[in-house]
Amino acid sequence: MSATAEKVLFFESIPSTNAKAKELATHGEGLKTVVVAETQTAGRGRGARSWHSPMGGLYLSVLLQPREGRRPTDLSILAGVAVAQAVKDCLPKAKEVTVKWPNDCLVDWKKVGGILCETMSDRRIPLCIVGIGINVNVGPTDLSPFLANPFSATSFSIEAQGTHDLKECLDVVLKKLFTLYDLYHLEGFAPIRYLWEKNCRLIGKKVELKDSSEPGAEGCIGTFIGIDDDGGLVLSNAKGDRTAYFSGELTCFWP
Ligand code: BT5
């Protein structure tokens, strides 16, 4: 195994690297193909949400496969760890870089990156399109629509003044991602789960999980225990009963 991409394809402006990677996979592109764009005109978030993708950000999608019999969510959790490790390497040590379930990367509790894992289930082992967006050289004006989010938005250039080399950032992200991918295929999900929990600062805290498709609905409040063997968020209620959740939005927290 080699912890590198099979092929990296660069584009200037496309609607979405995930859509492009899916199209390429349909036409025969295989595992470890990476699609990178300088800007996206229709960057996708989870559900009906979008990912704002101005020039200066890093936008990429990678074709990966879960282990046989395992869920694609493994790869979403794995990518979260890779992004957190890469962001840590690129920013000053004093910044606190953490993961937020299911797939965000936070710097000092503000969102610097997001992951969207989509699946092509038309084969025996599903092919996953792991999309990663990171705000690198993105200014505050571009992020202003998201500053009021429960976890606000930030970028490398906001957190550490100056311009960052996007190619270097891409190389770091890919190195972390493929190293973890090889570890996962050799040793399973357990080491990935361990690394994810090590990079999460919400464990042991009281959190609220809301159904993002029903903004007005009441959420589940509980203590964040960790993630289970399938990457589900485990909450403990006031009675100490534990439940695993596989979708939703952590909308508030009490550190
Ligand atoms: C995500 O969704 O965070 C997944 C984002 C994945 C983007 C990558 S870019 C490369 C690849 N190609 C794609 O088309 N997508 C992937 P979610 O957890 O649903 O968060 C989306 C929400 O984050 C939005 O509704 C906004 O509130 C907020 N948001 C949008 N753009 C943002 C940005 N650039 N920085 C911070 N927050 C943002």
Write out the two tokens for 100: 């937020």
Question: Which pLDDT does position 253 carry in this prediction?
Answer: 61
Instruction: Confirm or reject: Cβ of 76 under 6 Å from ligand 1.
Output: no
Instruction: Confirm or reject: Cβ of 226 under 6 Å from ligand 1.
Output: no
Q: Give the residue from 195, 170, 152, 193 showing the smallest Cα distance to 89.
A: 170
Question: Which pLDDT does position 93 carry in this prediction?
Answer: 87
- Widest CA span in the chain: 53
Nearest CA to ligand 1 atom 2: 45
The rounded Å distance from CA 135 to ligand 1 centre is: 10
Question: Which pLDDT does position 22 carry in this prediction?
Answer: 96
Ranges of H-type helices in the chain: 17-26, 73-90, 140-143, 156-159, 166-187, 190-198
The rounded Å distance from CA 241 to ligand 1 centre is: 32
Instruction: Confirm or reject: Cβ of 52 under 6 Å from ligand 1.
Output: yes
Mean pLDDT by 10 residues, the chain (255 residues): 83 98 94 97 95 98 96 96 97 92 94 96 89 97 91 94 94 97 97 97 90 74 94 92 91 63
The rounded Å distance from CA 1 to ligand 1 centre is: 31
Q: How many CA atoms lie within 13 A of 212 on its CB side?
A: 15
